[in-house]
Amino acid sequence: MKILDLFGKKDAAAEVGRSLPYQISYEFIPFRLYANRKGSSMLLMRLKNLTTEPVLSSLVVQVPKGLSLDETGLSGAKEMRVGTLAPGEEKQVKADVFGDIGTDKGEYTLSITAFIHYRDYGHVLNAMKKKTVLEVV
């Protein structure tokens, strides 16, 4: 990318792609759902930028069959746009996870994917995926 050096620009993609871009921490409030009942648990996620560049960020949460991200029970995935995170900055994002009368007992694996975008939310530079388990008793 020497041509970018001529115009005073640096290649941010090389910096962002080298190591883990984010630290993702999460918790459920309450920490479990009850089987065969309507109810919800709030998934509280904290996203921290570990790179040395400001990054445009978004999160995607996916839930398995039996759970939903809306009260109607139809939404299995949800994208949340976080915005630009400065180096070392941390933002908190919430998503409600719903169970209904068709939710059986067991452990349900949820997937949280954090994306680094460039230009706009349509272009992805890097991503990091984390899985968590919600217990239904």
> How large is the average pLDDT for residues 56-80?
94
Rounded CA-CA distance 58/45 in Å is 12
Q: What is the pLDDT of residues 10-51, one digit of tens each?
A: 455 555 556 789 999 999 999 999 999 999 999 999 999 999
CA distance 29 to 43: 7
The C-alpha atoms of residue 72 and residue 75 are separated, in whole angstroms, by 8
For the chain, give the percent of residues with pLDDT over 70.
Answer: 87
Does residue 112 register a pLDDT over 50? yes
Flag whether pLDDT at 105 surpasses 90: yes
Query: What is the structure's pLDDT at 8?
Result: 46
Q: Are 95 and 42 in contact (CB under 8 A)?
A: yes
Residue of 4 and 78 predicted with greater confidence:
78
Tell me the CA end-to-end span of the chain in Å, nearest whole number.
Answer: 55
Identify the band that residue 9 occupies on the pLDDT scale cut at 50, 70 and 90: very low
Q: Domains along the chain? A: 8-136 (2.60.40.10)
Question: Does the pLDDT value for residue 104 go beyond 70?
Answer: yes
When the pLDDT of each residue in the chain is averaged and rounded to a whole number, the result is 88
- pLDDT value for 73: 87
How far apart CA 64 and CA 109 sit, in angstroms, is 7
